[in-house]
Amino acid sequence: MPILGIMASQISGHLETNSYESIATVSVGSGGSSSISFTSIPATYKHLQIRNLARCDRTVTYTSNIIRFNSDTTNSNYSQHELMGNGSTASAGGGGSSAIYTLIPGTSTTSNVFQGEVIDILDYQNTNKNKTVRILSGYDANGSGVIFFGSGSWMNISAITSITLTATSGNIIQYSSFALYGIKG
């Protein structure tokens, strides 16, 4: 999706020309979906990046999408830290034995407001260390938006071959789009 291609990357350092390659995209259709998945991820890149525009149908200002790797749903295998602000209030939190999650606006947010998000998954194929994730997410609802910065870890040295993002409740709504990119090393 072209719109996803213009979202800025948070990968630091000097990237070579054509260092990003599109692996897969998911566009949520009519009726929404409780989750989206990227499977059979090739082992040919240094890092992965997910860029998305999303919204859920839960009656809240915002809620979370949970990130899972290789179908591992055991919370004690994950940790999360986050900073969040809305222009008047800031908060921070996190800890071990907690799923990695991202921000997603709900139906109590201004109509048709989708969050923009970049999720970096570093060294996803390295079988000598746990996996690290960093997240930059946010939306503006006519001056009442939220910005979210998170980092997380999957305490597993297995190569990542699949990624699932699941709404904590409700569905990810129609027109939400997710794109997975491979980043050459």
pLDDT band at 5 (very low <50, low <70, confident <90, very high): very low
Q: DSSP letters of 42-106?
A: -S--SEEEEEEEE-B-SSSSEEEEEEEETT---GGGEEEEEEEE-SS-EEEEEEES--EEEEEE-
Amino acid of residue 31: G
| Range of the structural domain that residue 136 is part of | 25-183
User: Is 9 a residue whose pLDDT tops 80?
Assistant: no
Q: What is the CATH number of the domain that holds 88?
A: 2.60.120
> Cα Rg for the chain, rounded, in angstroms?
16
How many domains are contained in the chain?
1
Q: Is residue 9 assigned to a domain?
A: no
Distance CA 165, CA 54 (A): 11
Residue 78 counted as domain residue? yes
Query: What pLDDT does 11 receive?
Result: 47
**pLDDT over 80 at 126, yes or no:** yes
Mean pLDDT of the chain: 90
